[in-house]
Amino acid sequence: MNDFLSPLGIEATNPGGYDGTWIRTDGEVIQSHSPATGQAIGGVTMCGRVEYERVMQAAIDAQRRWREVPAPIRGEYVRKIGLAFREMKEPLGAIVTAECGKIYQEGLGEIQECVDIADFAVGLSRQLYGLTMPSERSQHSMRETWHPLGTIGVITAFNFPAAVWAWNAMVSLVCGNAQIWKPSLKTPLTAIAMTKVAAKVLEEDGFGALIGLIIGSDDEVGSAMLDDKRLPLISATGSTRMGRIVGERVGKRLGRSLLELGGNNAIIVMDDADLDLAVRGIVFGAVGTAGQRCTTTRRILVHESIAADLEQRLVDAYKTVSIGNPLSEDTLMGPLIDKDAVTMFQNAVAAAREQGGEVLTGGDVHPMFGDEAGGHYVQPTIVRARHDMPIVHEETFAPILYVIPIQDVEQAIEWQNDVPQGLSSSIFTLNARHAERFLSAVGSDCGIANVNIGTSGAEIGGAFGGEKDTGGGRESGSDSWKAYMRRQTSTVNWGTELPLAQGIQFGS
């Protein structure tokens, strides 16, 4: 089953640090298990503060040279990394699937996202545009330029174990930075595999340390990153709980943080919607990745006149979702990541029932549910709910969908916004007025607002991220690159006088 491991250079026990060379410690070894089968995939030797310091120092040294490499040449390295991702797409997709449990099609999709962002970054490497502006002073010129930040820290979640790093690293590399990656301890092998593939390109010219890797605990390694002034930016993806800690700690030292946190994403379905489209969008959004995407559809706000019809269609569609080993081609939904996730699913369903929700389908663990190490299968679940149920306002990282009737588009938008999170949102409607209202300043308050497509499955070309408890960060496309650079405003006097701004006279 694990024949994808050897092309990626994954062994029985793997070094957990990389600073241009692989760092194997004598410390604790953690095992990565398949959430589907419980089978051990491989072990990793954990890093601590000593290794952190080593990776950090090597990154700083490499970045000193990297910042002098012209940006389009940096782009050329990233182009080769993108090619390497393409070549290794199948084994990389398989390791994503094996480790985090998303189906193989989604594992491949995740690596395609890495390819796409590499391609995007190559183009970007010739477009790190500054500005010129007219000076108010005679014989003066003004311009604004963008320079690398230095070395940045990247902390990633288990559910996109490859793509989130690539979104950050590919863009940040062309911006002229080095990065240190602390991946989730639930998916360390994917991080090692991604680093190996990209490092092969960079190592040829002694630039491996630009993509440092440090696999260790939050208390030791994560904590060191948050307090380290040598990391001007921490880009952190994960739960809102984690984001509050990161934001506060990094803010305390006046560092920057780029936070990509939890979502509680809703789809509004109006009475004029194309219901066939809506059902397909909802099922992919709610069941895809077993409900473990930040953009997973968690709430349906449906016009009361079609609520019964939509519920029935969704219940029927859910019956056709094949659940099983995510590496098998027929499977549409794999397992949850671990036992804790199953417990959170069960607790949320119990809370929904207590708060007056009615389970329309699912609500329990799946018959394939297994032991501690693997088989974390649950049933995709639909709950008829009310907006005032407290559980509806939380992100439960599992396939639970709350269906809530609404009276009109104004109420739908108000309720869609009335949760702490603000990541992704959609409306299904054929009415241009409803659609435009949803996209207007009085519409969705989320970072992503879609019409007639679901909440999940964003393209890399746009800026990705959300507001409120989602953290406010933007990654990936558009002008997100600016987060990885520092802006410099320069005024040049090419004349023989020294006029002051605002016409101030100072002495003679």
For residue 289, the minimal CB distance to ligand NAD (Å) is 10
CA distance linking residue 444 with residue 421, whole number of Å:
12
Contact with ligand NAD (CB under 6 A) among 294, 323, 360, 412: 294
**Contact with ligand NAD (CB under 6 A) among 20, 48, 238, 363:** 238
Which listed residue (113, 294, 446, 475) is catalytic?
294
**Residue 446 annotated in active site:** no
477: closest CA among 466, 459, 461? 461
Residue 109 tokens, joined: 């999709």
Restricting to residues 448-477, name those near ligand NAD by CB under 6 A: 470
Size of the site for ligand NAD (CB under 6 A): 29
Least separation, in Å, of the C-beta of 466 and ligand NAD? 6
Rounded Cα distance between 224 and 12, Å, is: 28
Cα(269)–Cα(264) distance, rounded to whole angstroms? 16
3-state secondary structure 416-474: HHCCCEECEEEEECCCHHHHHHHHCCCCCCCCEEEECCCCCCCCCCCEECCEECCCCCC
The gap from C-alpha 44 to its chain's centroid, in whole angstroms, comes to: 23
Joined tokens for residue 328: 């098998």
CA distance 311 to 328: 29
Tokens representing residue 272 in the block = 């004029």
CA separation for the pair 116, 104 (Å, rounded): 18
Active site residue 47: no
CB under 6 A: which stretch of 261-269, 278-286, 301-309, 406-414 binds ligand NAD? 261-269
Question: CB of 160: closest distance to ligand NAD in angstroms?
Answer: 5
Examine residue 48 and tell whether it contacts ligand NAD (CB under 6 A).
no
Residues numbered 162-221 forming contacts with ligand NAD, rule: CB under 6 A: 164, 182-185, 218
Pick between residue 219 and residue 276 the one whose CB is nearest to ligand NAD: 219
Return the residue of 63, 97, 235, 237 that touches ligand NAD, per CB under 6 A.
237
Indicate which single residue of 2, 223, 355, 411 sits in contact with ligand NAD (rule: CB under 6 A). Answer: 223
Q: Given 99, 110, 113, 260, which residue is catalytic?
A: 260
Alpha-carbon dihedral of residues 42, 218, 371, 286, nearest 10 degrees? -100
The stretch among 129-137, 254-262, 352-360, 382-390 that binds ligand NAD (CB under 6 A) is: 254-262
Q: Which stretch binds ligand NAD (CB under 6 A): 96-104, 233-241, 346-354, 492-500?
A: 233-241
Q: Could you give the CA distance from residue 145 to residue 122 in angstroms, rounded to a whole number?
A: 19
Two structure tokens written together for 372: 């501690």
Residues tagged active-site: 260, 294
Instruction: Enumerate binding residues for ligand NAD (CB under 6 A).
Output: 155-160, 164, 182-185, 218, 222-223, 226, 237-239, 242, 245, 260-263, 294, 395, 397, 423, 470
